[in-house]
């Protein structure tokens, strides 16, 4: 449970991020932004987006007292309740609070227009999808590390792709009808 803990990427994480570089190079991206946590900034740099602006609203969900703990150390009933959105660890953030925080950032991107690349964390991806689609963030699994999720923020916001691996065919920030207004 990393939460808002701030460790650097592992070597495997660095490899996964470097694999994103070619995929992202083939996409039209008007704006890029990242979480202010070290692992997101490092991901951005390795993927070819060094020195992008950061925004703390794109930080991972705050798991409070569980930060940097192994899931095996957390009582099973509490962990299961948290996964369902029925428990908040001491000092942590609820799923609805995360959706509100991330939703504000998504709404600003939508108002600004263009195609956005957001380098963020699994909980934030789930929160952005929940904000756009109305789905519960606890009803979906967390995306894999260094994967791409594409969300169209145009007239009819929708999820275009979820958890795509770098280099996967069809990962393009082009919304239905040819509009380039996706964020991933």
pLDDT of residue 168: 54
Whole-number pLDDT of residue 155: 87
Structure-block tokens of residue 164: 């795509």
pTM of the model: 0.88
* 173 CB-near residues (< 8 Å, 6+ apart): 27, 28, 29, 115, 150, 160, 180, 181, 182, 183, 184
Nearest-angstrom CA–CA distance, 126 and 142:
7
Residue pair 129/137 in contact by the 8 Å Cβ criterion: yes
> Can you give the pLDDT at residue 165?
82
What is the predicted pLDDT for the residue at 180? 36
Per residue of the chain (184 residues), give pLDDT as tens. 999 999 999 999 999 999 999 889 989 999 999 999 999 999 999 999 989 999 999 999 999 999 999 999 999 999 999 999 999 999 999 999 999 999 999 999 999 999 999 999 999 999 999 999 999 999 999 999 999 999 999 888 889 999 998 655 544 444 333 333 334 4
**Token digits of residue 20:** 């994103």
Fold of 11-183: Rossmann fold (3.40.50)
Give the model's pLDDT for residue 170.
46
Taking CA atoms, 44 is separated from 24, 32, 150, in Å, by: 11, 9, 17
Each domain of the chain, given as residue ranges in start order, spans: 11-183
**Cα(92)–Cα(96) distance, rounded to whole angstroms?**
12
Place of tokens 């795509």: 164
Which residue's structure tokens are 């150390």?
A: 73
């Amino acid at each position: 449970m990393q939460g808002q803990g701030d460790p650097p990427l592992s070597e495997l994480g660095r490899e996964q991020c470097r694999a994103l570089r070619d995929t992202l190079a083939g996409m039209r991206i008007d704006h890029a932004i990242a979480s202010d946590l070290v692992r997101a900034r490092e991901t951005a740099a390795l993927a070819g987006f060094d020195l992008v602006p950061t925004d703390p609203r794109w930080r991972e969900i705050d798991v409070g007292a569980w930060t940097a703990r192994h899931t095996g150390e957390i009582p099973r009933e509490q962990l299961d309740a948290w996964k369902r959105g029925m428990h908040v660890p001491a000092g942590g953030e609820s799923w609805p609070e995360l959706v509100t925080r991330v939703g504000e950032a998504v709404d600003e991107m939508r108002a600004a227009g263009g195609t956005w690349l957001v380098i963020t964390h699994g909980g934030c991806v789930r929160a952005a999808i929940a904000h756009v689609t109305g789905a519960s963030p606890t009803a979906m699994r967390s995306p894999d590390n260094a994967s791409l999720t594409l969300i169209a923020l145009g007239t009819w916001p929708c999820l275009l792709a979820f958890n795509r691996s770098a280099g996967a065919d069809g990962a393009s920030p082009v919304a239905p009808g040819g509009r380039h207004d996706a964020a991933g």
